[in-house]
Each structure stands twice: as structure tokens, then as C-alpha cells.
Structure 1
Amino acid sequence: MDVSIVIPTKNGGSLFDKVLTMIDKQETDYEYEVICVDSGSTDNTIEIIKKHNCILKQIDKTEFGHGKTRNLGASLGTGEYIIFITQDALPYDTHWIQNFIDGMKIDPEIVGGFGIHYPYPDCNIFDKRDLTLLFKGYGLTNTIYQLEDKERYKNEEGYRHLLSFYSDNNSCMRRSIWEKYPYEDVNFAEDQIWAKKMIELGYKKLYCPFAGVYHSHNYPLETYKQRFYDEYKGLYMIHKYVMVKDIPHLFVGYYRFVKNDLKYVNSLNMSSLEKKQWRKYAIKKDWYRFYSAYQAGVYYRSSKDKQEKMDKKFSQQLRQINQ
């Protein structure tokens, strides 16, 4: 088998059916299998999986972990390459697999790769902008990244983030490397923890803009508070990076972010009413970003008891696992 596609699932809904349908339609020279590990779906996800040509493994929701569940899925396959996607990541076209594996084969020292994410048509204007700029920054063609300047890596925060960025919404790794270096059993950022380790070991990673998926969210604004909390906790865990160190930094950073977003809204070609609505949206979302980043910084200075209370209050990851 050339490729094992691993998808953790839970209540995937109608979009997940579209994801599997597009995987079924792939035009590729590579032989592939699809492995779904479901952690307690209560909707029709199991029926959707069974109507497609998939290997299904069901686990209890209490057994789920971002690292260990993906490791379990990978262990059930035999593909030389392992592609990980999420249940809401829709392959952009029918050449997704072909382009991904062709890219991985460019250099035998490439151990993992990630593909571009396109925003869904209904994505909010800020996430659409940020996704586009993020992936544009990694290159317009297949681009290989490797740690070449250890002094810069040691001293430059942005360089460390550039080299370790990796996303299991749309990623690929060599099975031979996964067998040696599986994901860690963590609740968040298993993909970037793994990529950071690979980079520091001297391996190469690939950015493949030709292997795209649609992946974006339109969460209720309150949900961003939880997501940002998990995101900035993850950045500290990986890089010891604290975005908001104290209350003054919270307000200064928030002011700058809002100012930039309001300027962006004003530059768009839309009605006055639409601009007004997006201004309100930006003011709330940016506050949630900085407030949650501050709480994430507080988390790592707190006792274990307080950390548990903070996670119960703020963490989206914890809520999803316990649902």
C-alpha cells in the first residue's frame, strides 16, 4: 500500500460525507486506504463511514487523544506514507493525493509535509485574510524547510515558529519515520510538537501548495475565547512563547490589533452596514484573542489545581473530549 489516510471522527455530519466522497474521487497512481477512528459519534457518522470504502475503528470518547488516536489510526494501515486530515477538511481537487506524495518524494530527507488550507466560501473576512497570508508566506510552489541557522533558531521567535509550523488538518509523513517517532500523547498541538522535534533532529519538512483542502470555521464569537486559550497554551508548550505577559501588554496589544482590523474593514468594498457589522465583530474577537492569550500565560504560572479549574472554564479541547 502506498498511502494510508487517517481521519479521527466524532459527529462529522454532512460535510464529512463530502470529504469521503472527494477522497473516493481521487485521480492518482498511488494505491490508498482510508482509516477512520471514531470516538463516540452520536449522529450518522458511522453510517457515513460504512457507505464508503473505509477501515473503521471505534473507541470510547474517554480514550480519545489528539496524538494517541492518530497513532492508533496509523497503526491500522500499511501505507508507506500516512496522510492525516480532519473530518472537516475537504480535499480541494481530485489530485490532492497525487500532488502530496509527489511532493514528499522530491527529497528522501523530507519526513513530513503539510498542504495549503483554503477558506470555505462562508468563512469570516478576518480568518479568510489570515489563512491566505499565512500559507502565502510558506511559498507558491513545493518548498522544503530545514534548520540551517542554529543561532538564528535559538534567538529568533519567528524563525522557530516558521520551521515548526505543521498542521494535521492536512499533513503527510513517512511511515518509517512515524514508526520511529510517533506522535506524543498530548491534548493539543501534537502536530507542531512532532514537527519541531523533526526539525531539531535535522530532518526536512515540505510545504505543498498543490495538495490543498478547504478548512476554516465560522465559530460563534464566544467559542473563539476558548480556541485562543488552547492555541496560546499550545504555543507556550512548544516554544515557551507568551503573547501577553501582563495586563498592560493585554491592552496595548488589543488596541493595536483592533486598529489594524478596523483599517482592514474600511479598505474593503462593502456597504456601510456590512462594515459596521464587521467592526463590531473585530472588536469582540480581538478582545477574546488577547484576553485568552493573557489567561494562557497565567496558566503556566499557576498551581495544578488552578490549572484544572482554568481548563474547565476556558478550554475548547477539554469540552470536545468530554462531550
Structure 2
Amino acid sequence: MTSTMGGDPDGGAIDISIVIRTYNEARWLPELLAAIDRQTMHGMTREIVLVDSGSTDGTVQIAQEHGCRIVRIEQHRFSFGRSLNTGCHAARGRWLVFISGHCIPTDADWLHNLVTPLARGLCVYAYGRQQGHPELTRFSEGQLFRKYYPETSAVPQEGFFCNNANAALLRSVWRLHPFDEELTGLEDMALAKKLRDAGHATGYVAGFATSAETSRGDCWRQTWRSASMIRLTGIPAICRSSPTRHGRTVSNSAISSCSPRR
């Protein structure tokens, strides 16, 4: 298929590369892949690149059976930024879409709506709305999702809040500004701030959420910490030490299934 959308002149062989970071995501990955299959592509082409860091629960086998391209990163070398850069190096699309292995798009136009601001030149980096799993998310967690992932889009947005659990980035921009591989977290906001300081626009797409389970509060605590550090200091609180396994939440609208995962 030929894309009917404009955008990044440094286009790849296909339109969209969906990069999924995984570590033992067998519980949710089939649902995520099925949701990706249901996307309305609007003439665009896409591929799925799965970056795995040592899963032992059948995650890689599920991805292989689904036809994903598999790349691996050694567990001891894992960081969020390094995992994403590994997937981006393997990707062929002009637009790079990131979604966590425990996040499920809730709408067939999730992918199209997430990349549209990039294709129209409105911003170079966008992230989407997140909501908790309707049966698993605690009330307090749901309140946090609603606070930091509102129902109104902002393209471009003020500030540099961002979340790679459900995001899209121009590949040409990533080539010039790859993710920081030394950070143990908040690599998304570190890049968003860097891009803002360089004069680029970022955006928030609220139209269609991704949904995921929340477990033990890890995801919403990460969101709260990120937002708090920006509000208090204007600079993300980022550690440069050993890798961690804390999970993230997701998408333009997606359901997030976060426990301590990639």
C-alpha cells in the first residue's frame, strides 16, 4: 500500500514501525497484537518490532507466531532508552510508534490518530491518552490517569510531559536525538525536554486511549513522580545508576497493565 499522508521527508521503506518493549508479557501481548491487527490503516503500511530483554514466559514465541520482527537485548544491558534505541535501529518506518507490551489500544483508529500530528507537521513527538483497566484499576489510580491524561488534546503542548508507553516519534528526529541509554527512567521526558529546547514541538493526543491493568501502583506512582518533578523543578528527576524493572502505563487511548515490567 502507498501512504496518502505527508510528513517526514526522510521516510523509511514503510510508514509505521510499532516498537514494543517486552519482558515476560505473555499475559497481555496476545491482546495487544490482536488490537494492532484491528487498526484501520488508512492506506498506510506498518511493521511490528519487538524488543525483548530475556523473557522466559513464552513472550518471544507469541511474537514469532504473530510475525513480529524480534530483536533482543541482554538483560544486564537493559535500560528503557537502550531498549528503544535498539528497536529504532531495527525499524524501517518513517514514524516510530512505541507501546508497552501490557498496553491495549481501545480503538481501531488509535494508530492513525497517534501519527497524524507527526504526518501533518504539527509536532515531532507525540504521546497518547492512558486509562486504567476497567476491572483492575483502583479508584485512586484512575483519578491519577484522568488528571494527567485528560480528554482534550494539546498539539502542540506546553511543557515536556511525555510517556513512551504510548507515543510516536519521527525517525529522522530520533536519528539526530536518540534516547539517553544511561537513564534508568524518564527517558521520554528527557528527550521531550531536549527537543523543546531545540525548538521542536511535542504533543498530546487524547482522542483514543490505551488501556492496561495497574498492579501494586507502580505505574501511577511513576506518573505522579514524573509530573511532580516537572511541576516543582521544571527538570525531570532522573537517576543515572543501575537499570530498574519498573513498569510504565500507556496510550492515545489504551488500557495499561502495569506491574514491574518494561
User: Does the pair score TM above 0.5?
Assistant: yes
Q: Match of 1:110, SS? A: coil
Are 1:189 and 1:234, in contact at CA under 8 Å, matched by a contact in 2? no
Match of 1:14 in 2: 27
2:186 corresponds to 1:195: no
Match of 1:175 in 2: 171
Query: Per-residue displacement from partner, 1:291-318 (whole Å, max 9, x unpaired)?
Result: xxxxx9xx99xxxxxx98xx89xx6549
Offset at residue 241 of structure 1 (A):
3.7
Are 1:187 and 1:317, in contact at CA under 8 Å, matched by a contact in 2? no
**TM-score, length basis structure 1:** 0.64
**1:56-95 correspondence to structure 2 within 5 Å:** 56-95=70-109
Tell me how large the CA RMSD over aligned residues is: 3.2
Match of 2:68 in 1: 54
The structure whose RCO (Cα within 8 Å, separation 6+) is larger is 2
Aligned with 1:213 (options 207, 210, 226): 210
Q: What percent identity do the matched residue pairs reach?
A: 23
Match of 2:10 in 1: none
**1:1-323 correspondence to structure 2 within 5 Å:** 1-28=14-41, 29-106=43-120, 108=121, 110-121=123-134, 122-136=136-150, 140-141=152-153, 143-146=155-158, 163-185=159-181, 186-219=183-216, 228=221, 232=225, 241=233, 317=246
Match of 2:251 in 1: none
Offset at residue 132 of structure 1 (A):
1.1
Q: Partners of 1:42 and 1:130 in 2: how far apart?
A: 32
Q: Partners of 1:15 and 1:229 in 2: how far apart?
A: 20
* Structure with a larger share of its residues in helix: 1
**TM-score, length basis structure 2:** 0.78
Describe the shift of the 1:123–1:113 C-alpha distance in structure 2 as closer, same or farther (beyond 3 A).
same
Are 1:86 and 1:170, in contact at CA under 8 Å, matched by a contact in 2? yes
Describe the shift of the 1:16–1:23 C-alpha distance in structure 2 as closer, same or farther (beyond 3 A).
same
Describe the shift of the 1:134–1:172 C-alpha distance in structure 2 as closer, same or farther (beyond 3 A).
same
Offset at residue 105 of structure 1 (A):
2.4
Q: Partners of 1:141 and 1:230 in 2: how far apart?
A: 18
Q: Partners of 1:75 and 1:24 in 2: how far apart?
A: 23
Query: Per-residue displacement from partner, 1:123-181 (whole Å, max 9, x unpaired)?
Result: 00001111112222xx62453125xxxxxxxxxxxxxxxx1100001000100100000
How many residues get paired?
A: 232
Which stretches of structure 1, 4 residues or longer, exceed 3 Å deviation after superposition? Answer: 227-236, 238-242, 315-318
Query: Per-residue displacement from partner, 1:212-244 (whole Å, max 9, x unpaired)?
Result: 21135121x6x68xx8589748966x78849xx
Instruction: Show structure 2 runs of 5+ residues with no match.
Output: 1-13, 248-259
Paired residue type of 1:94: A
Q: Match of 1:123, SS? A: coil
Describe the shift of the 1:192–1:216 C-alpha distance in structure 2 as closer, same or farther (beyond 3 A).
farther
Paired residue type of 2:96: I
Greater radius of gyration (CA):
1
Are 1:97 and 1:211, in contact at CA under 8 Å, matched by a contact in 2? no
* Structure with a larger share of its residues in strand: 2
Q: Match of 2:214, SS? A: coil
